[in-house]
Amino acid sequence: MKHIRISGTGSALPARVLTNTELETFVDTSDRWIRERTGICQRHVAADDETTSSLATRAARAAIEAAGLQADDIDLLIIATTTPDMVFPSTACIVQNALGIADCIAFDMQAVCTGFVYGLATAERFMRGGGVRHALVIGAETFTRLLDWTDRGTCVLFGDGAGAVVLSQSDTPGLLSSHLHADGSQAGILCVPGAVRAGAIAPAPFVHMDGQSVFKIAVRVLDDVAREALAHNHLSVDQVDWFIPHQANTRILSSTARKLGIAESRVVVTVDRHGNTSAASIPLALDTAVRDGRIQSGQLLLLAAVGGGMTWGGALVRF
């Protein structure tokens, strides 16, 4: 059986940058308060004419180009998103059409901030089953459209963007393993409880979060799944070149790295510039570090994410 490797990465961010200083003008908050509690300095916000699919399409094109492929080489397209363009059809089908792919498997994946890792794991299983040579996995969000801008506990945290990877069959190991989990008993601590009913959204269309509960669970499960991935592959933390966690906030990132025993210099951090972009955060961080030269061929990457559901997952990747 052939191996599976990341052959290309790409990302896309809206042009509009919303700084903490600008937030101060219409939210009861301050730059200092946001920085001290989250590490976030700015985030990108989608314009009215930007959609989850348009951001995903831009990221996909960059990843396909980096892989040295054409769009029609893609056999499988998975989009991890909490903010689809519409109820149906899937955002993946919209992106498939935008890319000009004549025919491929295409569907959306919903695991909130863990969605990209869920997508990687799902694509891996399709590829190992045969028939899929190249898979495109995208995390894409217009998450700011779910925010109540009067709720300073949530609206300062999130941003919009998309990140993508192409997975390809390979003669050398790449995606070593993936590990997925969920605990639905914790669904209420991080959710958007609204649903379309008779033409309206009820009971609420905005993000609800119990921050303290999320923090406690996040640090615990990120540590657990990272150790699970390393143990499964008989590797140690010292062998990891880069840790790429879900970019929730710097307190969670620092606490998880400290618990794992990974130096913060080996943690890829983009939350300060992007905010929490949910399913897009890991592929955005990955592409950023690939394109600025930090991530090199042959290095070992540890990915770990946690999101509403609650869901969590990890993957170990030889880049």
276 counts as catalytic: yes
Q: How far apart are CA 207 and CA 177, in angstroms?
A: 32
**Contact predicate 223/260, CB 8 Å:** yes
Q: What would the two tokens of residue 98 be?
A: 């935008």
Told to judge if 20 belongs to the known catalytic residues of this protein, a careful annotator would answer: no
Closest CA to 312 of 289, 290, 282: 282
Among candidate residues 282, 224, 225, 220, the one with its CA nearest the CA of residue 248: 282
The closest alpha carbon to 311, from 25, 122, 118, 40, belongs to: 118
Among 113, 134, 155, 274, which one carries the catalytic annotation? 113
Length in residues, the chain? 319
Beta-bridged to residue 50, according to DSSP, are none
Residue that is written with structure tokens 């498939």 in the block? 96
DSSP 171: S
> At 110, is the secondary structure helix, strand, or coil?
coil
Q: What angle do CA 16, 71, 111 make, to 5 degrees?
A: 60
- Which of 179, 246, 249, 274 is catalytic? The answer is 246
Catalytic residues: 113, 246, 276
